[in-house]
Amino acid sequence: MKIKIGGRWVGESEPCFIVAEAGSNHNGDLEIAKRLVDVAVKAGADAVKFQTFRAHALYSPKAGTIDAKRIGAPIYQALAKLEMPYSWIPALADYCRRQGIVFLSSPFDEESADLLAPYVPAFKVASYEISHIPLIKHIAAKNLPIILSTGTADLEEVAEAVNTIRQAGLREIVLLQCTAEYPAPIESLNLLALVTMRERFQLLTGLSDHSRDPVLAPTAAVTLGATIIEKHFTLSNSLPGPDHEFALEPDELATMVNRIRQTELALGTGIKQRQPVESKRTEFGRRCIFASQEIRPGDTFTKSNTAVLRCGELTAGLHPRYLDNILGTRAARQIAQGVPVYPQDVQESVTLSLAAGDLHGDVARGES
């Protein structure tokens, strides 16, 4: 399974697509928004994402307050101050293009989706919008890939959203496991749910991570097959606003990206084979049959005059699998103590091969 976002393939056997979530951490200042783009670029993220909304399309003015410490005001008034002007959309899209990073923004209403459509290569649907079926239908009709966060939802709610998108004829969907808490405790992340959703819906999955740790959840998710990692970031945790306190600072974002890439390198191809870096130690540490004492021509090979040792710098002799074959046979020539036994050292006609010539990969090749 693969989809394309902004010229990048996302999916199996592809590098994880890393989304630096700027959200509303621009604090209403376009220059801060551009600085956030610069930070995402420097960190090595694939995309930077903002949020495009109007408070009146999210909450009633009577909605009240949640997270009083974090937001510090009734939710409607707090969000009204963080609305991203629509005029920023082309400006930020162009700035991202010139900086070489994918521009994304989550729409929270139909008008915002319409204005974003010409400028984004995919739509990101936020967790709280998973039940907004009319909005999901509207976005799906744009025929752009949809990245769907699933915080607060159970599997049947995810299924309803997925079916809605599929009924619109769109198949390019990525589901992100998410816990809608800020910050999210590590024990609440339920990373295995991204595996459950991948198997249930046969879709790409990833993680929208709200935990404070820059490395733990993202790298664990990558080992579970996450194809997209999204993480909030800010210029500084000390800035005013609801999402600054739990977001990553610039150096932490760069650390996250680096650790994800290192994790991908460590995962490898999955093909069990000898690694090039092991070649020297493979030959040095490979075991073969040795003469544990001097053996004269005509002497019988016994357990007392043979041993299975590591070859070191000596040319490998008989593979250890042939020890039983040569016990009881006679030596064809003089063999000094402490050197390998070779096929030509054995008188009898026994089918033998050198440890160095083993092609079956069943020789112990390292410390366990």
Tell me: do 167 and 280 sit in the same domain. no
Confirm whether 3 is domain-assigned.
Answer: no
Q: What 3-state DSSP class applies to 265?
A: helix
111 vs 242: CA distance, rounded Å: 24
Confirm whether 2 is domain-assigned.
Answer: no
Confirm whether 365 is domain-assigned.
Answer: no
What CATH number did the domain enclosing 326 receive? 3.90.1210.10
Tell me: do 298 and 329 sit in the same domain. yes
Give the amino acid at 1.
Answer: M
Per-residue pLDDT band for 190 (boundaries 50, 70, 90) equals very high
Which pLDDT tens digit goes with each residue over 299-358?
999 999 999 999 999 999 999 999 999 999 999 999 999 999 999 999 976 666 656 544
Confirm whether 4 is domain-assigned.
Answer: no
169 vs 143: CA distance, rounded Å: 8
Confirm whether 249 is domain-assigned.
Answer: yes
Tell me: do 93 and 210 sit in the same domain. yes
Per-residue pLDDT band for 193 (boundaries 50, 70, 90) equals very high
Q: What does the chain come to in residues?
A: 368
Whether the CB-CB separation of 26 and 85 falls below 8 Å is answered with no
253 vs 232: CA distance, rounded Å: 9
Tell me: do 213 and 163 sit in the same domain. yes
β-strand partners of 221: none
367 vs 277, residue with greater confidence: 277
Tell me: do 255 and 294 sit in the same domain. no
pTM, two decimal places? 0.87
Tell me: do 239 and 280 sit in the same domain. no
231 vs 221: CA distance, rounded Å: 12
142 vs 68: CA distance, rounded Å: 37
β-strand partners of 156: none
13 vs 304: CA distance, rounded Å: 53
Tell me: do 28 and 174 sit in the same domain. yes
- DSSP secondary structure, 126-139, as one string: -GGGTT-HHHHHHH
What is residue 252's predicted lDDT score, i.e. its pLDDT?
98
Q: Which of 244, 267, 290 is the last residue in one of the domains?
A: 267
Cα radius of gyration (the chain): 31
**Tokens encoding 334:** 């003089």
Tell me: do 305 and 244 sit in the same domain. no
- Is the per-residue pLDDT at 364 higher than 60? no
Tell me: do 281 and 221 sit in the same domain. no
Q: Which of 267, 301, 336 is the last residue in one of the domains?
A: 267
Please state, in angstroms and as integers, the Cα–Cα distance from residue 222 to each residue in 118, 122, 218, 266, following that order: 31, 21, 6, 11
Which pLDDT tens digit goes with each residue over 94-131?
999 999 999 999 999 999 999 999 999 999 999 999 99
Contacts of 281 (CB under 8 A, 6+ apart): 365, 366
Domain count, the chain: 2
275 vs 124: CA distance, rounded Å: 40
Q: Which of 242, 267, 292 is the last residue in one of the domains?
A: 267
Could you check whether the bond before residue 250 is cis, i.e. omega within 30 degrees of 0? no
H/E stretch holding 16: none
Asked whether the CA dihedral 110, 112, 115, 119 is positive or negative, the reply is: negative
Confirm whether 350 is domain-assigned.
Answer: yes
Residue corresponding to tokens 């800020």 = 182
The residue range of the domain holding 147 is 9-267
Tell me: do 309 and 244 sit in the same domain. no
Confirm whether 325 is domain-assigned.
Answer: yes
- Is the per-residue pLDDT at 368 higher than 80? no
Average pLDDT for 282-299 = 96
What CATH number did the domain enclosing 209 receive? 3.20.20.70
Tell me: do 124 and 54 sit in the same domain. yes
Vertex 321: Cα angle to 315 and 327 (nearest 5) = 95
Q: What are phi and psi of 281, to 5 degrees?
A: -75, -25
Tell me: do 40 and 145 sit in the same domain. yes
Confirm whether 323 is domain-assigned.
Answer: yes
